[in-house]
């Protein structure tokens, strides 16, 4: 059941991601940067937490393990990209609203994953998950601003007339 849930939600996120990209006019380069950076950070963090530190123990059940893979390799990067674009292009009140919604989704999905047995916490808890994803979102927002600054400088150099 949880496998179907994350598979369906990931497809919904792909639709929202494309809708957000089209209506907010984010460039393909920005979307690619966000998605690849979120995959890189998330994959390495989960490898550390699951394999190296053993702070989170994943299940050995095949269906739940596949659901955990979809969660950490598809759902989380797409969710991070969607909310990065939503928060970046919003006013202060909407930024707070989107961050609150993001926090709620992260905490609820973490509780669902633990309840369904996808993983169990050893030296980790939901507060750490919230802090991790909040910092993760901040890194993506700063990276996007940094990239846009690089892109505007390169456009400025190309438009210089001698």
Q: Is the Cβ–Cβ distance between 25 and 89 less than 8 Å?
A: no
Q: What is the pLDDT of residue 149?
A: 87
pLDDT tens, position by position, for the chain (162 residues)? 888 989 998 888 888 777 766 566 677 788 888 989 999 999 898 888 777 888 888 888 999 999 988 998 999 998 998 889 889 888 999 999 999 999 999 999 999 999 999 988 888 888 999 999 999 999 999 999 999 888 666 666 655 444
Q: What is the pLDDT of residue 47?
A: 85
Name the nearest CA neighbour of 21 among 4, 9, 10, 33: 33
Domain regions of the chain by residue span: 1-6+47-148
For 104-127, the DSSP string reads HHHHHHHHHHHHHTSEEESS--HH
């Amino acid at each position: 059941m949880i496998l179907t849930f994350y598979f369906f939600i990931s497809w919904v996120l792909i639709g929202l991601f494309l809708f957000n990209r089209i209506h907010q006019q984010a460039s393909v380069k920005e979307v690619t940067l966000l998605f690849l950076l979120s995959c890189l950070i998330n994959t390495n963090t989960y490898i550390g937490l699951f394999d190296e530190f053993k702070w989170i123990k994943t299940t050995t059940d095949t269906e739940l393990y596949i659901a955990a893979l979809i969660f950490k390799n598809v759902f989380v990067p797409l969710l991070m990209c969607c909310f990065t674009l939503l928060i970046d292009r919003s006013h202060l009140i909407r930024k707070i609203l989107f961050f609150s919604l993001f926090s709620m989704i992260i905490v609820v999905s973490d509780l669902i994953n633990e309840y369904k047995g996808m993983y169990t916490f050893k030296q980790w808890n939901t507060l750490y998950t919230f802090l991790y994803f909040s910092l993760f979102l901040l890194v993506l927002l700063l990276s996007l601003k940094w990239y846009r600054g690089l892109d505007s400088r390169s456009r400025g150099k190309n438009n210089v007339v001698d």
